[in-house]
Structure 1
Amino acid sequence: MTKRYFITGTDTDVGKTLVICALIYAFQKQNKNIIAIKPIAAGCERIDGQLKNSDALEIIQALDASHSQKNHPYELINPISLQSAVAPHIAATEDVISLSVKSLQRSCNLPQFNQDYILVEGAGGWLVPLNETETMADFVVAESLDVILVVGMKLGCINHALLTIENIESRGLKLSGWVANCVDEEMMVLDDNIQTLCERIDSPLLGIIPFLIEGDNSDEKKRATLASTYVNIAPLI
């Protein structure tokens, strides 16, 4: 039976892509058949005549690293590419694209994948809008995906994490686990913050990823590979 996980974050720029790539490498190390996609990506650049997003390219790089199928088609991994680096519903309006839960379901077509594990990376935070009435969270409900929360460890993260989890659970969704990603190298009382979150979150802590300096594309692969050594996927298998 296929297990499907939606990776969301407490905010934008908290390391969702780093975590999803780390999970890809971790699953691959255990010879698990896995696919990962990023349905919507904003802030894309035109490369070889096609709008492409750096996060989606990192996912493809991770999938291709030790996957039986190489050269995953870009549009398979990121079906909706938006130009402006703003909230998806705003970028979609600028690009004259209509976003909705149903259009997102059609674009992703999750039933097409026969892998044992499917990872889906969100855009921005949990309640990022798709249009005037729907959010990314509504898509997760429609697809009945379990959720993995990336907590960007910085000042205010406890409140952000608990509010996000409250909304996830209020929708009848399962929080399968969370990852503490250290995005602030100088965060004070980091251990105390993580301990507080552990005491208040019922779902398992899948890992604590230390602060890792960002670099060029080749370094991103090294960062994700290193990050994979800090995550425990046992609760997800």
Structure 2
Amino acid sequence: MTPLLSPSSGFFITGTDTEIGKTSITAGLTHAFQQLGRRVAPIKSLAAGQVQLADGRWVNDDVAQLHAAQKLGLTVDEVGPLQFREPCAPHIAARLEGRSIDRDALLAAIRATAGKADVTLVEGVGGFRVPITAQWDTADLAVDLGLPVVLVVGLRLGCINHALLTVEAVLARGLTLAGWVANTADPHQPHVADNLSALRARIDDAVGAPCWGHVPRLPDPSPAAVAAHLQQQALLNALKALKA
């Protein structure tokens, strides 16, 4: 299958697990790339779990966070093309609502929004291999899109193993690992420097995918606050590699 998007059009954001800050990092990357003069479209490919707003509309928190970070004037539906009410795996949430997930329709929605930007950041769901339908998961979605991958590593117990297994899975699918971001999921995680050193040796040095930054636990993880902990030169290098 021909990739839906050009590999030069952006990045697919995945993570070592759920609840490790992928959306905060994606919002931070949105802010950072915008500061570098790029027109950025952050897209939460699928989102499960919604809250009701004052106007009666239901929206996913991650979608709302990414929508607030972008400056393209995208609609909420463009940022979050497929949302479900129940906070669980997408295929379960769809079944609970009596809905089906249409692969072609979702990919078409992502492509339409990506067409409005210089850099598209498509965020996956949970970890790298989360079921979407009986025959399709988030790894398949990443392959369909054809974008280089950015891995968000949630710094907590087990993060080295989770990160390296995910790196292996990404590379096994023939995808490029563009880089990774360490995000402090557990503020009490011991030996952070040693963990980062081990990850750099096994990802930066062995795979050639550089660390784009280490984000500490922030009292207010706004896009600007997250972006302040990302390495501008690494982002510039990543943008340059997109054009190569």
TM-score normalised by length of structure 1: 0.89
User: Residue 130 of structure 1 aligns to a residue in which SS?
Assistant: strand
Q: How far has the Cα of 1:173 moved from its partner? A: 0.1
Looking at structure 2, the residues matched to 110 and 165 of structure 1 have their Cα atoms a distance apart, in angstroms, of 29
Whether 1:228 and 2:234 are equivalent positions in the alignment is no
Looking at structure 2, the residues matched to 151 and 112 of structure 1 have their Cα atoms a distance apart, in angstroms, of 25
**Matching of residues 124-135 of structure 1 within 5 Å:** 124-135=126-137
Whether 1:195 and 2:197 are equivalent positions in the alignment is yes
Task: Work out whether residues 58 and 220 of structure 1, in 8 Å CA contact, stay in contact via their aligned partners in 2.
Answer: no
Deviates more, 1:204-213 or 1:97-106: 97-106
In structure 1, runs of 5+ residues without a counterpart are 214-218
**Matching of residues 124-203 of structure 1 within 5 Å:** 124-201=126-203, 202=207, 203=209
Q: How many residues align?
A: 225
Letter matched to residue 19 of structure 2 = D
Select 2:57's aligned residue among 36, 47, 50. 50
Looking at structure 1, the residues matched to 103 and 142 of structure 2 have their Cα atoms a distance apart, in angstroms, of 9
1:121-142 Cα deviation digits (max 9, x unpaired): 1111110101122101101101
In structure 2, runs of 5+ residues without a counterpart are 1-5, 240-244
Match of 2:3 in 1: none
CA gap 1:112/1:158 in 2 versus in 1, 3 angstroms = closer
Looking at structure 1, the residues matched to 83 and 199 of structure 2 have their Cα atoms a distance apart, in angstroms, of 34
Task: Work out whether residues 21 and 154 of structure 2, in 8 Å CA contact, stay in contact via their aligned partners in 1.
Answer: yes
Q: How far has the Cα of 1:220 moved from its partner? A: 4.6
1:141-194 Cα deviation digits (max 9, x unpaired): 011111100000001001100111101000100010000001111111110011
Q: How far has the Cα of 1:12 moved from its partner? A: 0.4
Runs of 4+ with deviation above 6 angstroms: none
Select 2:35's aligned residue among 29, 36, 43. 29
Root mean square deviation, CA, Å: 1.6
Deviates more, 1:82-91 or 1:113-122: 113-122
